Structure 1
Amino acid sequence: MPKTGLVGGIALLVAAVTGCGAVAASPDVGDPLPSEPTMIDYVDPSQVYGLNVRTVAAGDAADPHVYASYPSIDDPSGLNDAPGLNDRLQRTVKEQLARFWRDASRDSELPHREFNIDWQFTAASDEVIGVRLRIGESVGTAWSESRTTLWYDRRDRRVLDSSGLLKDRAALEELASLVRERLTGLRPRVNPRAIKADPRFFDSLGFNPRGDLVVEFDDHQVGAASLGRVAVAVPASDVEHLLSAAGARARRAAVGEAAGATGTRNPELWKEFIAEAGVPKPPAASSQTGSVDCAKAKCVALTYDDGPGPDTGRLLDILGRSHARATFFSLGTSASARPELLKRMMREGHLVGNHTWSHRDLTALPDIKVTDQINRAQYALTHTVGQVPGLIRPPYGAADDRIASIAGELGLAVVRWSTDTGDIRGTDPKAIADKAVAGARPGAIILMHDVHAPTVDATPEILRRLREKGYTFVTVPELYGSRGMTSGRTYTSGDSENPGSSEDRGGGSVTLQRPPTP
């Protein structure tokens, strides 16, 4: 958990170790209120009907490293559809990404340029949906984060910036004064005088389970980025009269009072959750392991990263019709949103591996954050599929001896690839299929992405052409047969001449042609 300092309802999360800033606390069964007042109790995304996760990515070995994800609520019945919110989220991501590309192009010689967006639901009910985006970036060696929370008022069918939760300009000015008062006395670490009655300072507002208003600041707004997340909890009694009608609905949704509110604050649910978490889980394995001897058959492993996404179900249909199995390296954020797809993967003989929580370049993180990125995803995946993943594919294929060592301590083998189809950079299914087929050989590990629709379109052709060449499609561990895979070792292919070792550094090089768009 983050290191926390409390001063009158203020939290300075210094050197936070979590991948997404504020994290929902795990309260005692009898007391669902987190002890830290600025912690927001995020909604379980799997409880939001019609949810899909949209992604934007730019290559696997490229610099800059770009990955952004955001939710999209696509209820075909229209009863819970939120097109305005979907459009606004996509536009926000596009704008942030365009700004990053401009900055990165000006500083193209600086090392380690990375851009990342992840998200959480701050509330979800029949009345209101709240979506918090955390935007992180580095151009050079410094990592900084900004946060913005958008609210969708389902009653009025409109999207609100966080400042829209307040009645008017006078309410914004009073809130700014309240926040300055609570920050006073923390100098020189923070500067309360920097706060203005400007919506840009109040673009990430939420509520803790008690109904207090939580105000989050971007890095550099009121203090150095090294402070981590700076947030203030203003008591509900002090802000209730400042809220607009939409703001009052948002508060009810966040504390679970609204009709149709979702969340995990029910003590009985917590009892079940804790009890289930304590049950030992078996190692993850394909339900069809042992049906193919890759020492005799021509085996190839198709692997898909970053999902599950909107097209993952269609991909599973395609693989099922061809009786082919694959390995899915799933993100913790996306897996939490679509757990039913991971369960289906395992039922149908596929294998689920770890792709970290939010797709950060692990080589740019300190050990404690690397561990957190892996462990959070590992917990989400294990809880969903009932088995413990034994494989990890680091985002961008970025893994060195340090990352392999940490993975080994966590019981994971590192998997890269022998063939990069370049699918994340291309939109032509035939070109993707051509690269997959050209790179196939016995024991090949082929890199693709199930969040990319052209990849799913290419899969039937890949299966047909490789099967005509005599290939059998298996999960990654099946390539190694009785040799097995060893935690902490890095594998790029399963052929007998290259069994994989900590010295393997395979992976395709990437040249970015143009900035991607959502």
Structure 2
Amino acid sequence: MPKLRFTGGIALIAAIATGCGMTAPSPLAEHPLPSDPTMINYVDPSRVHGLNIQELGKNEHDARRVHITYPSIDDAPRLTEKLRRTVAEHLGRFDKHATADPTRSHPEFNVDWQLAAASNQVIGVRLRIGESLATGWSEERTTVWYDRVNRRALDSGALLKDGSALAELSRLVRAGLSDQGSRVNPHAVGTDPKTFDSLSFNPHGELVVEFDDAQLTAAPLGRVAVAVPASEARPLLSATGLRAQQAATETPETPPAMGSTEAIKAADTTKLPAQSSKAGSVDCAKAKCVALTYDDGPGPETGRLLDILAHKGARATFFVVGSNATAHPELLRRMRQEGHLVANHTWSHRDLTAMPISKIADQLNRGQYAITQAIWQVPTLVRPPYGASDPQVASVARGLGLSVVRWNVDADDLRPTDPKVIADRAVSGARPGAIILMHDVHGSTVDATPEILRRLQAKGYTLVTVPELYGSRGMDPGKTYDSAASADSPGATGSIQRALEKQAMS
């Protein structure tokens, strides 16, 4: 019988350890290594017609740091609803745990996703659900399937044809784990379908079984997975499972992800730093300038927002999430072409201050790579999720040539709010050199934008990208910028500062 193949977190540690100093690990540090048989050949979401990104988050100042994204596909509403229910159930449990544990000042809950398969017959969505409480960071993995033939949204267990197939899979997985020593406990693998909530296939049709952190171990080991040979898996599969297996083997090979910091920099040597195509057209030491910034996109509302900005002759800075950027690179290209600036908001919107330096670098590197692949320019700005930064985050940003950008005006648009209220907050806080925080993933924010532009322009403001606020002084990698009008901002000194103070008095 073909031998099952296993991987765990220890296999990844060796890869990370090959770096030195602040060198970032491979973007695969959270996923299998390329030679790993449990590697899933994820589908490029930009190739899936009708795919949009749904997002659920909380206020930037909320004690609980929550960021959830999952896909919706136009012709699969039942899949969207099942994904929504799945993440809502996990969020509900997290909220209970966070309420019962007051020791952590900023408990975090984060969900990102990838497409395990996508064909005209089946779609597979792999969710990575992480939470940080007093016990530290842990992740669960679950893969939801949609059978387009019978229009059913299904748990992974539905890939198996019956209870006897589940029992046989359990036996095969236990056998595959039995020679792994004390790292994993094969006896923890039973016949409960919930144990097998993340099933998918590698490009060879082997059935990949993933487990949650600490599900089979005494302490979190990282990703633990087993690959069941295709010949052993096929007799166990339902009709949906067979369709999923075929879809995975037909998935086009995707370009390899970039590796270390050095590899990314080497690939970037032929690309210019990202800047507005209209940079230099406004002197913000003379003109009254403010910078509108939009976080978390691109999303379903981003195209409409770009239409509004174009109509009003305004430009903005978009801090995009890397996983969203891969789904809609055409929106990033439109931003660049229309004079806006595209900047880094990490790969999956994690709280960087709660992560080790290797993970910080991974989040920033993967965000850089996703954006660079879309616009063929290298981002020079990063906004840390929740505005949370510290010397370690700044140090990693410096190594990647990124200035850290926060804000001094918050439109507070994450909560369901009347567009007029959002506009009032944005405009009332505006001063020359202000950086205004908003989110292009919310319809109410986009609805508020025409009024924001009308009122700001009526006050004599010019809407520019963030680097234009600082003029020839520029922005330094690793330094934090809240506002060009702030006396303690490293980019607002000397003549620029005096000019801004004079504007503010006029």
Alignment of 1:201-350 (within 5 A): 201-256=195-250, 261=251, 264=254, 280-350=270-340
Residues in 1 aligned to 2:66 and 2:317: alpha-carbon distance in whole angstroms: 23
Listed as ranges, the matches of 1:374-393 within 5 Å are 374-393=364-383
1:428 partnered with 2:418: yes
**TM-score (structure 2 length as normaliser):** 0.89
Q: Deviation of residue 238 (structure 1)?
A: 1.0
Moved more, 222-231 or 370-379: 222-231
Partner residue, 1:31 = none
Letter in 1 for 2:272: P
Partner of residue 31, structure 2: 23
How much does 1:470 deviate? 0.7
**2:278/2:339 contact within 8 Å kept:** yes
Instruction: Report the CA distance shift for 1:112/1:225 in structure 2 as closer, same or farther (over 3 A).
Output: farther
Contact 1:325–1:474 at 8 Å: present in 2 too? Answer: yes
Say whether the 8 Å CA contact 1:151–1:161 is kept in structure 2.
yes
CA–CA separation in structure 2 for the residues paired with 1:130 and 1:239: 17
Task: Report if aligned partners of 1:144, 1:225 keep a CA contact under 8 Å in 2.
Answer: no
Residue 4 of structure 2 contacts residue 173 of structure 2 at CA under 8 Å; is this kept in 1? Answer: no
Post-superposition offset of 1:59: 1.8
Separation (CA, whole Å) in 1 of partners of 2:4 and 2:54: 39
Partners of 1:24 and 1:322 in 2: CA distance:
46
* Residue 50 (structure 1) aligns with: 50
Distance 2:486 2:351 in 1: 30
SS of equivalent residue, structure 1 residue 41: coil
In structure 2, do the counterparts of structure 1 residues 18 and 61 end up closer, same or farther at CA, with 3 Å as the change threshold?
farther
In structure 2, what is the Cα distance between the partners aligned to 1:447 and 1:500? 19
Give the secondary-structure state (helix, strand or coil) at the position aligned to 1:188: helix
The aligned amino acid for 1:438 is S
AA at the equivalent of 1:377: G
CA 1:409/1:279 → structure 2, altered by over 3 Å: closer, same or farther?
Answer: closer
Structure 2 distance, partners of 1:499, 1:12, is: 45
Report percent identity of matched pairs: 61
Deviation for aligned residue 1:50? 0.8
Deviation at 1:22, TM superposition (A): 5.2
Aligned counterparts of 1:60 and 1:496: Cα–Cα separation in 2: 21
Aligned to 1:123: 117
Whole-Å Cα distance in 1 between the matches of residues 32 and 6 of structure 2? 16
Distance 1:420 1:339 in 2: 27
Q: Retained in 2: the 8 A contact 1:24–1:42?
A: no
Task: Number of aligned residue pairs: give it.
Answer: 470
1:410 paired residue number: 400
Q: TM-score, length-normalised on structure 1?
A: 0.87
Residue of structure 1 equivalent to 2:8: 12
Q: Deviations over 1:177-220 (max 9, x none)?
A: 00001111223211111111111110000111111111001122
Q: Whose helix proportion is higher, 1 or 2?
A: 2
Cα deviation per residue 1:357-397 (whole Å; 9 max; x = unaligned)?
00000000000000000001101101100100000000000
C-alpha distance in structure 2 between counterparts of 1:297 and 1:180, whole Å: 69
Kept after mapping to 2: 8 A contact 1:132/1:148: yes
Following the alignment from structure 1 to structure 2, what is the Cα–Cα distance between the partners of residues 427 and 96? 26
Conserved in 2, the CA contact under 8 Å of 1:202 and 1:217?
yes
The answer to whether the 8 A contact 1:148-1:204 is kept is yes
Are the counterparts in 1 of residues 474 and 491 from structure 2 also a CA contact under 8 Å?
Answer: no
Q: Return the letter of the residue paired with 1:67.
A: H
How many Å apart are 1:496 and its aligned residue?
6.9
Distance in 2 between the 1:141 and 1:356 partners? 24
Q: Does 1:84 align with 2:78?
A: yes
Uncovered stretches (5+) of structure 2, i.e. residues with no partner? 14-24, 257-263, 493-506
Note closer, same or farther for the CA distance 1:387–1:207 as it changes in structure 2 (3 Å cut). Answer: same
> Any unmatched runs of 5+ in structure 1?
1-6, 26-33, 75-80, 267-273, 503-518
Q: Is the 8 A contact 1:315 1:456 kept in 2?
A: yes
Q: Secondary structure at the match of 2:183?
A: coil
8 Å Cα contact 2:27-2:365 kept in structure 1? no
CA contact (8 A) 2:350 2:385 kept: yes
CA–CA distance in structure 2, aligned partners of residues 485 and 134 of structure 1: 35
Instruction: Give the equivalent residue in structure 1 for 2:166.
Output: 172
Give, in whole Å, the separation in 2 of the partners of 1:319 and 1:337.
Answer: 22
1:477 to 457, 467, 472: 467
AA of the residue aligned to 2:97:
D
Report the CA distance shift for 1:456/1:265 in structure 2 as closer, same or farther (over 3 A): closer
Distance 1:48 1:340, change over 3 A: same
SS of 2:116 mapped into structure 1: strand
- 8 A contact 1:10–1:233 mirrored in 2: yes
Q: CA deviation at 1:72?
A: 0.7
Q: CA deviation at 1:148?
A: 0.5
Aligned to 1:29: none
User: Which amino acid in the other structure matches residue 176 of structure 2?
Assistant: R
Aligned pair 1:61/2:69, yes or no?
Answer: no
| Cα distance in structure 2, aligned partners of 1:42 and 1:305 | 26
Measured in 1, the distance between the counterparts of 2:121 and 2:77 equals 15
1:194 aligns with 2:188: yes
1:111, distance to aligned residue in structure 2 (A)? 3.2
Q: Secondary structure at the match of 1:448?
A: strand
Whole-Å Cα distance in 2 between the matches of residues 286 and 110 of structure 1?
A: 40
Q: Runs of at least 4 residues of structure 1 off by over 4 A?
A: 15-22, 276-279
C-alpha separation in 1, matches of 2:155 and 2:267: 37
Determine the C-alpha separation between the residues in 1 that align with 2:143 and 2:29: 13
1:507 aligned partner? none
Aligned to 1:353: 343
Partner Cα distance (1:280, 1:338) in 2: 23
Say whether the 8 Å CA contact 2:434–2:484 is kept in structure 1. yes
Paired AA for residue 86 in structure 1: T
How far apart are 1:20 and its partner, in Å?
7.9
The aligned counterpart of 1:455 is 445
Shift of 1:242: 0.5
